[in-house]
Structure 1
Amino acid sequence: MVQCLVIFLCVFISQCYGNYGDKDQVVTSKGLILGDRWDGYSTFLGVPYAKVDLENPFGPALEYPKFDTPLIANDSSVVCPQVYFNDNGTIQCLNLNIYVPHTASKKNLRPILVWFHGGGFVFGSGGEYGGQHLVKKDIIVITVNYRLGAYGFLCLDNPTVPGNQGLKDQIEALRWIRSHIVHFGGDANQVTIAGESYGGGAVDLHLYSKYETLFHKAIVQSGSMYVTEGIFVKPDHKAAIKLARHLGYDVSITSEALRILARAKPSEVNAATRNMSMILTVCAEKEFIGVPNFITENPFHLGNTDRIDGMPIMIGYTSQEMLFEFANKPQSYYDNLGDPFALQIEKTFVFSQKESEKISSIIRHFYLGYKEIGPDAQSELSNFLSDFAINYGVEWSTNRYIEQGGRVYKYLFSYTGASDYRNITGSGASHTEELKFLFDWIWAAPLINSEQLMMRERMIRMWANFVKHGNPTPADFQPLHWPSATETSRPYMNIDLDMQVKKSPFRHRMAFWNLFWHSYTKNNFLLN
């Protein structure tokens, strides 16, 4: 009887959809999806998980309809409209790129890594991150497109666009995965969400969202909702009106501005956003009856012990995140820089000019002593900006997880053997440096020598172990043991040629920022 049913289904699929013997075929409730087979894995690239409502491209996504014909999933080039670097994005961009090991089946469900790309919520796409290395560790890898800029992060006093739509797109992607990934051989009860930079900040925020829990582990790389590069902003309820006016329309009502923007070309909307230096990222949404919210409070008031308690979380950063901002810059760059300390502090805190000058002087002396701002201070300036913009925020998130019962594995990525800055004496690993070891990342040169390839093998094995076991170094990884952090101890894995467990990265610098935030939290712009 079972054999007859199998034969019937094979004949039915062949007659209804055609013969696609050279393709990997997955039948879902949406229709037949055709992927490409490779050595050890298959790819399904550009699979739609939701549809943008063209009447309101800034608001909730719609369910994607069933396919009338088989979906040939071989194109990962679709990107959402970009504010920077690329004007070729398209509105209908809510796609997944799925990498499936050949071992996966409904009888052998494999755990899943879901990747949210970085890019400041203004550029980037899931298709930039090839999952062909991680998938060979017997896990399913999925990279996600989500809306960016005004299309993903308008935060308005309007129930049709309350805010954080890009994060809500990620929720829809996770819901699609929960419902459909079993057809690819994926285990919907073993989902790890991960991301780097603002993608890591998105993961952090998902731990606190008001939506149902759609994942079971989390990886936060060089990101946090507490980073001070603008991931969390005050809502600008007039943003749609400002954009429409910049495009030449005399409007004063948000609903009318949204109708105008919906008809405009995405490149025009993004050019207006760019030209006005408008920062549109995560906000505390206003609540409307019957309208779901992602987050309605600022980061200082968020908590979610029910979700975080017991959850495995891996979190860390590179050893010199912001080196790229200062490395190899000429003297003229520093001459035009002004006061880099005051410049950063004033982005995040509200001070009088006199207070700002005094505080920036204290910070300058902490990092530079009496050294002049110039090429000779590139390392110290990189350390300052790394700490202020990323490192302290990551440490803050780490502390919050531990307070709420999370099982936290900390790391510091220090390997510089493939870095563009490895010839700078004393340099560390810059922002994004770890990505080239996890993904076939389009922005990185290929790894070529045996040492670099060994580091890749080490990285993908630890990350895949975490996806499988909630522990990057389970028993079979001996002799290396990566302990979790606790209330009284902060061990971390220093990821380098010489792998070592150490304690409290940059302890004195983090203590400085602890005191700073303790003294000046009330001056944060979100509270003013």
Structure 2
Amino acid sequence: AYRGIRYADPPVGALRFQPPKLKLQYEGVVDASEEGPACPLPAPPTYYVDEDCLTVNVYTPTHNSTKQLPVIFFIHPGGFYAMTGRSDLAGPHYLLDRDVVLVTINYRLGSLGFMSTGDALAPGNNGMKDQVAALKWVQRNIAAFGGDPNLVTITGCSAGSISVILHMISPMAKGLFHRGIAMSASPVGKGVEAITHQRHLAVRQAQILNCPTDNSSAIVDCLMTKPWRELGDSLPKFWEFGEGDPVGLWGPVVEPDFGQERYLPINPLDAIKQGKMHTVPLIVSQTTDEFFWKAFPVLQNETLLKAMNEEWERVAPISFMLPKENRAAAVQKLREVYLKGNKLANDKPSEKALGQLYGDSVIGFGVHRLANLMCRHSKHPVWYSEFAYVGNNSHYEDSHGKPQGAAHHDDLLYVFTLSYRFPVISLHSQHSHVVDEMTALWYNFARYGDPNPRGDTPELGGLRWPAMTAADRRYLHRGPQLQVRQNLFEDRFKVWDDLYPIQY
């Protein structure tokens, strides 16, 4: 394990809110024995956080292989405002059972990584440019760790999944990777219009830290003077409807041209449909229940429950992240279809209905749209998958510590160790076969650009998982066993396709 290696100059002082400056040489020997910090975010007081956070971790098998190994490059989840690539959130223990080199990274989060004012002062996407800088670091350096720079699989969950797809569109990332795994999120979904800035979030950030909001330069100048901890800790003040709602705040934008190197010059939907992308073999997946658990804090809190019932027209667009287009019709139709027009109450039917609406609106429909677009327009095969396995642990556990479904991020529990919160799955656990199967699929895909078994991954048995096509929409159902099924949740997603129609 080589940890905390800087891949860019520290983004501090005059480099705050600037694109990353590549680190092309190192003074003397690099100490890679200690974990680097998390990028600024709300964290317990003893947790290691610092603005100087642009680091990679590299993990290699202990044996010295003479042959260069496939590289798996992981982009962490967290809505572009939380989590890290540190080993307590993306531990290498399962994947390193395979002959791969694993790279996990930090990138700037929240306002520090994604502030976009719609002008030259902050065009946006610095956190995405950080990821590109880390991919360039891999191209220059990974051979020295035994990795093959011509066999890089970029993988990501949630915000990391959006990142994987956008790297296929960004001119800056072209040629830096050779396969992609996009778990549980999509840059294309309900909204069809391109987002070119998120000025409202820059203004909100300024207000939270008592900065003037007259113009961009007043905002940026003032935020430049603020301690990084104040920026990182201000996240909770961005929520609009209870804690953690809306799930999505900052994100990548289509950058207007101010003479800067642009990460994203085109609306992702247009890029995919016009084939203006550098595609690679791709696995797209979602979990069965995704954000179903967002229903519980609403239903169990009288104030939030009352607000959602009585002010549905105001609250629904926030919680379900509905775009401006067709909003009035969507708000009504979704209430009809998901809630059957019923008032919400703290009971099982409401839990199921509201949970499904959260899951489909925040993640499910976007992933459905992504898989259906990519299988039509990519020059490479696309495999589609549903993670439905419910083991001993989950990112949502009830008051008795029992999982209630296959939640958002739960697939990660079988690919990485997440020691900050979850126990390691031992070889003797009844769930260890899931780890073996998941890492086998990734290992095959990283090597061959095809997840199917080729003789040296016996744990996959005789699996035949076909690539998805427009006419034959088969997918892998990852439940207690591996099964090939077809037309994932299409009846449920029909209402969304009707509300937000596009030509696939």
Q: Which band: TM-score by shorter chain?
A: 0.7 to 0.9
The residue aligned with 2:449 is 470
Partner of 1:368: 339
- Return the letter of the residue paired with 2:295: F
> Alignment partner of 2:493: what SS?
helix
SS in 1 for 2:441: helix
Aligned equivalents of 1:505, 1:228: Cα separation in 2: 18
What is the CA–CA distance in structure 2 between the aligned matches of 1:258 and 1:332, rounded to whole Å?
37
2:180 matches 1:218: yes
Tell me if 1:56 matches 2:25.
Answer: no
Equivalent runs, 1:94-173 vs 2, <5 Å: 94-103=54-63, 105=65, 107-127=66-86, 128-159=89-120, 161-173=122-134
**Cα gap change, 1:72 to 1:490, in 2 (>3 Å):** same
Q: What is residue 267 of structure 1 aligned with on the other side? A: 229
Matched residue, 1:411: 385
Q: Which amino acid aligns with 1:338?
A: M
| Distance in 2 (alpha carbons) for counterparts of 1:83 and 1:286 | 31
Partner residue of 1:380?
353
**Alignment map for 1:484-503 (pairs within 5 Å):** 484-503=467-486
Give the direction of change, closer, same or farther, for the CA distance of 1:185–1:475 in structure 2 (3 Å limit).
same
Shift of 1:492: 0.5
Deviation sequence 1:343-386 (CA, Å, 0-9, x none): 3346423379xx73x64343233223365523212122222221
Q: Aligned-pair RMSD on alpha carbons?
A: 3.2
Where structure 2 has 5 or more consecutive residues not aligned to the other structure, the ranges are 241-248
CA distance in 1, matches of 2:407, 2:232: 28
On the 8 A contact 2:392/2:403 being kept in 1, the answer is no
Corresponding position of 1:24: none
d(CA) in 2 for partners of 1:488, 1:434: 28
Give 2:3's aligned residue.
45
Alignment of 1:284 onto 2:254: yes
2:427 maps to 1:453: no
1:197 corresponds to 2:151: no
The residue number in structure 2 matching 1:22 is none
Looking at structure 1, the residues matched to 317 and 438 of structure 2 have their Cα atoms a distance apart, in angstroms, of 35
Q: Structure 1 residues 403, 184: CA separation in 2 closer, same or farther (over 3 Å shift)?
A: same
Aligned to 1:432: 409
Q: Is the 8 A contact 2:12 2:51 kept in 1?
A: no
Matches within 5 A, 1:340-351: 342=313, 343-345=315-317, 347-350=321-324
- Give, as a single letter, the amino acid of the residue that structure 2 aligns with 1:436: L
Contact 1:53 1:62 (8 Å CA) reproduced: no
Q: 346, 365, 383: which is aligned to 1:392? A: 365
CA contact under 8 A between 2:453 and 2:462: conserved in structure 1?
A: no
**Aligned with 1:434: secondary structure?**
helix
Letter in 2 for 1:301: D
Inter-partner Cα distance in structure 2 for 1:482 and 1:139: 22
Correspondence for 2:287:
318
Q: CA deviation at 1:146?
A: 0.2
Secondary structure of residue in 1 paired with 2:135: helix
Q: Secondary structure at the match of 2:15?
A: coil
Look up the equivalent residue of 1:454 and give its one-letter code. H
More deviation in 473-482 or 276-285?
Answer: 276-285
Structure 2 CA distance for partners of 1:425 and 1:515, relative to 1, 3 Å: farther
Partner residue of 2:141 out of 153, 172, 180? 180
**Shift of the alpha carbon at 1:173?**
0.2
- Per-residue displacement from partner, 1:99-158 (whole Å, max 9, x unpaired)? 1113455x4100011000011111111002101210221011110100011111011344
| Distance in structure 2 (CA, Å) of the matches to 1:366 and 1:481 | 36
3-state SS of paired residue (1:192): strand
In structure 2, relative to structure 1, the CA distance for the partners of 1:412 and 1:234 (3 Å cut) is same
Deviation at 1:428, TM superposition (A): 3.3
Q: Which amino acid aligns with 1:495?
A: R
Q: Distance in 2 between matches of 1:318 and 1:369?
A: 24
Amino acid at match of 2:348: D
Query: Per-residue deviation at 1:228?
Result: 6.3
After superposition, the Cα gap between the structure-2 partners of 1:275 and 1:387, relative to the gap in structure 1 and judged at 3 Å, is closer
**Runs (5+) with no aligned partner, structure 1:** 1-42, 522-528
1:66-114 Cα deviation digits (max 9, x unpaired): 4334222122241111157778521110100111113455x41000110
Contact 2:123 2:197 in 1 (8 A): no
Between stretches 438-447 and 171-180, larger displacement belongs to: 438-447
Q: Secondary structure at the match of 1:138?
A: coil
Residue 295 (1) aligns with residue 264 (2): yes
Aligned-pair identity (%): 24
- In the alignment, the residues of structure 2 paired with residue 176 and residue 65 of structure 1 have an alpha-carbon distance, to the nearest angstrom, of 8
Per the alignment, do residues 104 and 372 of structure 1 end up closer, same or farther by CA in structure 2, a change over 3 Å counting?
farther
> Partner of 2:463 in structure 1?
480
* Cα distance, 1:443 vs structure 2: 3.0
Greater shift, 413-422 or 481-490, is seen at 413-422
